Chains A and B, each alone.
Chain A
C-alpha cells in the first residue's frame, strides 16, 4: 500500500503526467477501475465528459490512468483510451516458433537445484 501511495505521489508530482491528456475514448462503455484494477462499474461514453481530459495520475504497473469524471476520481485502463503522450509500440516482427522434432528430449525443469542427498 505504501508503495502504491509513493508511486501515486511521485506520479502526481511529475510534470509529464500533468501534461498528459486523454484525447479519445477507444472503448464504449468504459470500465471504471480502482487502483488495483478491480472493476467499479461501467460508464457509457455518451455519459462521460468530452475529451481532452487531464490525466491526474498513472499506474505504470497496471497501465492505468486516473482522471476525474463528473467530479469523481476514477482509474481507467489505457487500452480504453488514446493518450496525448506515451510510447508508441509497434508489433515486433518475431518469427513464428517452429515445432520441435518428434524425438526431442529435454530432461530438465525450471528453478530446481541439485537433488537431496539425505540418507
Chain B
C-alpha cells in the first residue's frame, strides 16, 4: 500500500517537474507560442477599450498606389513629387514629422529639376520654421560592407530615427546602440516633441537612459477616430465585431470564421492625395487634422514590402507600428505596458515564477483528486470548485497585470492545463452515466422480452 502511495506521488512530482521545465525552458518554442497566442487574444479582446488620448495627437499620411496612379508617377517617388508632398504638409504646421522612407540611394544624381536637392530644400524649410523632422535611419554605416543608410545631405537636414533593430522580439525599443552610436526610435523622437511644452512623467533624459528602459509591449486600439470619416471613406472598415465579447467569440471559434482579421488601421490616416486639396473648406479641414499634430509619413505600395504583423489588424504598413508605439507613449507615458524584469542572467521573471506556481498548484490538485477518486468517487463537485478557483485566480492575475501595464501571462497554457483538475471526475462522471444508460437499455430490453414471452405463453 505504502509502495503504491510513494510511486503515485513520485509520478506526480516528475510530471510536475516535466511541465515546469516546459514552461521555463521553452523547448521547441512551445511555451513562447502559447504566450504569443495569449498576448494576441488579450490584445484583441481589449482593443475596443483602448483610450483615444494618443489618437487625438497622432496622424499617419499614407502614400499609396492610388496616389501614384492619380499623379501618373511611380515608386520610388521622384524627389520633385516628394518635395511637393512635404511642402504641402509643411503648410499645415504639424508639431513634428517622421518620414518612414529610406533615402539610401540617390536615384536622380546631378538632376537639378528632380534631384534630391529639391527635397533637401524643403526639409531645410521645416528646420527654419522650427518643425522637427525625423528621418528613417538603419543605424548602419553607409557604404561599409554594402550597408545602406540615409544619404548624407538628407541625414544632416533631419534628426535620426532608428527603424531597424533586433533581439527584442515583437517589442518596440525606445533607443538602441548601433554602429552610429545610440539612436532613438521614431516613437520616442516624436514623443519628445509632444512633451516639448508639457510635463511628461518619466521622459528619458537622453538616448542612453532610453536604451536602459524596457521596450514597449504594444497595446493596439481598434475603434476609429471620429475624424477619420471626414478625411476618407470608412465604408470598407468593419466596425462589426469590435466589442470584446465578439473578439472573444472569434478567438475561441476562429476555425469557423475569419481567422486573419483585415480591418482599417486605428491611427487617424490621411491619404497623400488629400494634401493636394486647395479649396478653402478642405484646407480648413486639413488644418484641423494636421496642425500641431505628430505626423508620420509612410507608404503602402504593392511589393514595397514594408508590412508589419499586428495582433489586431493582421498586416499593416510599417509606419503604423511606429504610430501605435507613439500612441502608447502619449497615452501611458512612462507606465506603458512592458515585460517584467528578469532576474540576472536567468531571463526568468517573477511572472514566470507565478506561472510556475500555477502549474504546481494545478498538478498538485490533479494528483490529489486522482488519489481520492477511489474513496470518494461521487464527489465531483470539489474538483470543479477547485478548477473554478484556479480560473478566478487566473482572471485576477490577468486583471492585475493589465492594470499595472505588465505584459499578459500565458493564460491559454494555464487554462488548458487546469482542465486536468477536472478531467478525472469528468471521466468518472461520464463513465457512470454511460453505465447507467447501458443498464437502463438492458432493463428495457429484458422487460420487452419478458412481455413478448408472456404474450406468447
Contacts and interface: CB of A to CB of B under 8 A. Distances in A.
A101 B276 CA distance: 30
A29 to B, nearest CB: 9
A96 B232 contact: yes
A95 B64 CA distance: 11
Contact of A110 (B237, B273, B301): B301
B264 A62 contact: no
Nearest to B127: A39
Interface stretch (B80-88, B348-356, B402-410): B80-88
B456 interface: no
B272 to A, nearest CB: 10
B261 A37 contact: no
A93 interface: yes
A86 interface: yes
Nearest to B62: A97
B83 A92 contact: no
B453 interface: no
A36 B122 CA distance: 10
B142 interface: no
A102 B236 contact: no
Contacts of A77: 87, 91
A116 interface: no
Interface stretch (B173-181, B308-316, B328-336, B440-448): B308-316
B305 interface: yes
Interface in B76-133: 80, 83-84, 87-88, 90-91, 112-113, 117-118, 121-122, 124-125, 128-129
B279 A96 contact: no
Task: Identify the interface centre among A26, A86, A92, A97: most chain B CB within 10 Å of its CB.
Answer: A97
Interface string A1-27: 101100000000000000000000011
Interface in A25-53: 26-27, 31, 33, 36-39, 42
A96 B315 contact: no
Contacts of A1: 112
A113 B288 CA distance: 45
Interface in A99-119: 99-104, 106, 108-110
A55 to B, nearest CB: 16
Contact of B271 (A27, A38, A94, A108): A94
A63 B85 CA distance: 11
Nearest to A88: B279
Nearest to B282: A91
Contacts of A106: 302-303, 305
Interface string B229-241: 0011111111000
A26 B91 CA distance: 9
B88 A79 contact: yes
Contacts of A39: 121, 124-125, 128
B303 A110 contact: yes
B75 interface: yes
B262 A109 contact: no
B379 interface: no
Contact of A61 (B90, B113, B259): B113
Nearest to A92: B273
B396 interface: no
Given A31-B128, A36-B117, A110-B304, A101 B279 contact: no
B260 interface: yes
Interface in A61-89: 61-63, 77, 79-80, 86, 88-89
B139 to A, nearest CB: 23
B258 to A, nearest CB: 8
The 7 closest A-B pairs by CB, nearest first: A101-B260, A102-B260, A79-B91, A100-B315, A99-B313, A96-B232, A38-B121
10 contacts: A39-B128, A62-B87, A91-B231, A91-B282, A94-B273, A95-B236, A98-B237, A99-B314, A99-B316, A101-B260
Given A38-B121, A80-B91, 15 more contacts: A3-B113, A26-B283, A39-B125, A39-B128, A62-B84, A91-B285, A91-B286, A96-B264, A97-B300, A99-B316, A100-B262, A102-B315, A103-B259, A103-B260, A104-B315
